[in-house]
Structure 1
């Protein structure tokens, strides 16, 4: 009996020990559960491609408190996910939170997806911004002759890349950079928010971009690009905060974007002076539609001034500009070389503009002193139709280059209501050739009215661009991750 009693007591002690241990473990789990929780969320969006593999930034140590740097977390996550490029691709989800980060590079067959309450905050630690060589078609940085800081979101030699979200935010915290620029303290050109180089099949969509250090979206030397549903805000006095700058790119679609900026809302480019001529990579087959722009000191759509590789077949329709310096502007100069041709614009609505149209050959900002003074640009076949504007100070300034006139200008069905303090001479025209039909106020003598039978002139080409044939897929993903 004594042996049995001792045995029962040992069992009781052991059971009590394990019961207390279980309570301790459960208590510990309870503490941990207050710090971290398992989150399940469903993502639905349209994209050029869907992905087979997904992960959250928190899986790689991301901390969304707006203070801790997440540069290494982004780099680690993208490096890990790159292994799935040939297995259906991958997606990195950025949850709600404020994610401070420096520059990081994307990979192919990859989607970066921002939650609606996710904010990427650009680091102001300059050591988190690697320096790149100048673009070969520019020959130097735009802010300084040396190189340039890598963009916040960067990629080169990639294919099938998507940056999208549920209108999540990328905040460049540009004030830091603007001050450095104004004080002339920058050794390198300021970073952009998103730049993809030498890449193919790109989608940038459904995001809000704030306070970029310089340009916001810069695809360069790339093709088959969709920029869609982007909202861009920067103070209208901020320096060079261009909205979307397709640069030496082919087959591009920009649509449903709203831009308030300190520079051109869309600036089409292709290299600078002798460097752009030598590189010889044009921008062509570009569609811009349903764009709204506010930029009191710059253009709604600018072509140039860096256009030395050529710009051809640009189509813009359903464009609205409010309190913007000019509607469509072509900027070039002696020494640029290259061409701007086959430009088609229709259905523009303009409110409170300095110029409705501006096209000049005196934009004499050069990369260096080695440009060729015999490199004359070719500007021809420029078409504007179905434009209504109100409160316009100057209808147009068309100033070609002596011995190099701008030719084939066509303007039809355009009504410009001049401001109360408008210039007495609404049109200024030198060294140009072209025609008009149904234009008010009457244009200059170099653009004679051809009568109502020409009202259908200046229209779009009948064919569609290849990028318009691309239909987005509906993607659905269920994400389970540890939230903080």
Structure 2
């Protein structure tokens, strides 16, 4: 077994190096939210018969190693080291007070045998699987009710081999909702860093009902035609920091969620205290999104220093009739985008429903949104803001926005309805609902 006594220290060193490489000396980070923990106890997957030849199944080795961590309960927790090699395995569960550490050249690869994939109950805030009624397939790497969990390393890879799942979705042969790549549920004090996530069957990283989560220095990759491969989806979670990462997928890069229609309303757990900064990426869908599942409410979201290329929508706040929930205090600043279909979209008619039992009178409320310092080139349409007739979007404030459109005319007009707020130095000029009312935004800027 290769010595791993310096593995956690190496992870910390990589964090320091990457931080220093960022422009400017006053870079704010979220490192203090969840401290990196040094593990005195270290084991290797090879100690439990793990073989990284890409062919032999390592499910037994992972289960036995994690069982040892869970039941031996060494002081300070345990680091599970994955040496270089390709470790094929079925889905497995993590445990508390553990570090999953992937060395450079290490790959944890999901089996493509979907017939034996474990099923779990639907999330209570969704009431059913997100794609299909009933339960859902367990995420490839899963955890529930955990604390003090770290997934890190030297940029090793977690590969979901999602192609077989994407084909089932396209062919309409799915029996249950596809598995996420990593899901942590009802958990706290989580760090995910310095790992490559690749080809997720469904959403990539899904912290749900979690608190104190840091996701940084990750790379998330999936083909642009892969269905619903969201990058990072904090869901009914609080005190979450997502920063310094590259994401290129087939759906939203980062999407803040909080439950689906009547189920999310009943569960009543919001997402709040979410920080998203220094994200770079591309996708045919949204760069940074809130929604469309917002039934538990979303508030106090800070987004800053985002770079987007080849996008469907740059910034997308989205909800729907039947959602209920309040979306408020959303601050977005310092965004650069190029080759984007729509720069800014805020809409109340997006997303489907779990069933026909949603309440059409459960109207979402969206207010107190600040978007400032946005630049864009090759933008087909600068903005679209469509509130709901019986629940208009209020206090939507835009400042210092310059989106160069690609049409022959000088300006492509914004489209707006059922919205109020203001605008300061916005080009192309926004719709009349916002023009000339900058006084309503003065307290924001």
User: Cα distance, 1:448 vs. partner?
Assistant: 1.9
User: Cα distance, 1:456 vs. partner?
Assistant: 7.1
Alpha-carbon separation, structure 1, partners of 2:148 and 2:74: 12
Alpha-carbon separation, structure 1, partners of 2:74 and 2:235: 29
Question: Does 49-58 or 39-48 show the bigger shift?
Answer: 39-48
Superposed CA deviations along residues 401-448 of structure 1, whole A, max 9, x for unmatched, are: 112100010001111111135796420000000001111111111002
Q: Would the alpha carbon gap of residues 434 and 455 (structure 1) be closer, same or farther in structure 2, given more than 3 Å must change?
A: closer
Give the corresponding residue for 2:27: none
Q: Which structure exhibits the higher relative contact order, with contacts defined as CA atoms closer than 8 Å and separated by 6 or more residues?
A: 1
Give the corresponding residue for 1:39: 2
Give the corresponding residue for 1:326: 313
Alpha-carbon separation, structure 2, partners of 1:339 and 1:455: 20
Alpha-carbon separation, structure 2, partners of 1:371 and 1:450: 36
CA RMSD of aligned residues (A): 1.6
Q: Would the alpha carbon gap of residues 284 and 61 (structure 1) be closer, same or farther in structure 2, given more than 3 Å must change?
A: same
Alpha-carbon separation, structure 2, partners of 1:154 and 1:140: 18
Give the corresponding residue for 1:168: 156
Is 1:436 aligned to 2:423, yes or no?
Answer: yes
Q: TM-score, normalised by structure 2?
A: 0.92
Is 1:88 aligned to 2:76, yes or no?
Answer: yes
- Report the 3-state secondary structure (helix = DSSP H, G, I; strand = E; otherwise coil) of the residue aligned with 1:73: helix
Q: In the alignment, is the contact (CA less than 8 A) between 2:41 and 2:74 conserved in 1?
A: no
- Report the 3-state secondary structure (helix = DSSP H, G, I; strand = E; otherwise coil) of the residue aligned with 1:59: helix
Give the corresponding residue for 1:71: 59
Give the corresponding residue for 1:409: 396
User: Cα distance, 1:207 vs. partner?
Assistant: 0.7
Matches within 5 A, 1:106-145: 106-145=94-133
Give the corresponding residue for 1:191: 179
Is 1:59 aligned to 2:22, yes or no?
Answer: no
User: Cα distance, 1:85 vs. partner?
Assistant: 3.4
5+ unaligned residues in a row in structure 2: which ranges?
13-34
Q: In the alignment, is the contact (CA less than 8 A) between 1:412 and 1:456 conserved in 2?
A: no
Give the corresponding residue for 1:367: 354
Alpha-carbon separation, structure 1, partners of 2:134 and 2:269: 22
Give the corresponding residue for 1:335: 322
User: Cα distance, 1:142 vs. partner?
Assistant: 1.4
Alpha-carbon separation, structure 2, partners of 1:144 and 1:421: 44
Give the corresponding residue for 1:274: 262
Q: In the alignment, is the contact (CA less than 8 A) between 1:438 and 1:449 conserved in 2?
A: no
Matches within 5 A, 1:354-393: 354-393=341-380
User: How many residues align structurally?
Assistant: 420
1:225 paired residue among 206, 213, 235:
213
Alpha-carbon separation, structure 2, partners of 1:354 and 1:227: 28
Give the corresponding residue for 2:17: none
Superposed CA deviations along residues 1-36 of structure 1, whole A, max 9, x for unmatched, are: xxxxxxxxxxxxxxxxxxxxxxxxxxxxxxxxxxxx
5+ unaligned residues in a row in structure 1: which ranges?
1-37, 460-484
Q: In the alignment, is the contact (CA less than 8 A) between 1:277 and 1:337 conserved in 2?
A: yes
Q: In the alignment, is the contact (CA less than 8 A) between 2:368 and 2:394 conserved in 1?
A: yes
Alpha-carbon separation, structure 2, partners of 1:111 and 1:376: 43
Alpha-carbon separation, structure 2, partners of 1:85 and 1:347: 45
Alpha-carbon separation, structure 1, partners of 2:296 and 2:422: 27
User: Cα distance, 1:40 vs. partner?
Assistant: 3.3
Give the corresponding residue for 1:6: none
Alpha-carbon separation, structure 2, partners of 1:190 and 1:48: 31
Q: In the alignment, is the contact (CA less than 8 A) between 2:421 and 2:441 conserved in 1?
A: no
Q: In the alignment, is the contact (CA less than 8 A) between 2:422 and 2:440 conserved in 1?
A: no
Alpha-carbon separation, structure 2, partners of 1:166 and 1:309: 37
Q: In the alignment, is the contact (CA less than 8 A) between 1:53 and 1:84 conserved in 2?
A: no
Is 1:148 aligned to 2:136, yes or no?
Answer: yes
User: Cα distance, 1:449 vs. partner?
Assistant: 3.6
Give the corresponding residue for 2:252: 264
Alpha-carbon separation, structure 2, partners of 1:143 and 1:410: 35
Question: Does 363-372 or 53-62 show the bigger shift?
Answer: 363-372
Alpha-carbon separation, structure 2, partners of 1:175 and 1:392: 31
User: Cα distance, 1:205 vs. partner?
Assistant: 0.7
Superposed CA deviations along residues 75-110 of structure 1, whole A, max 9, x for unmatched, are: 100001123436111010000000001111111111
Q: In the alignment, is the contact (CA less than 8 A) between 1:413 and 1:455 conserved in 2?
A: no
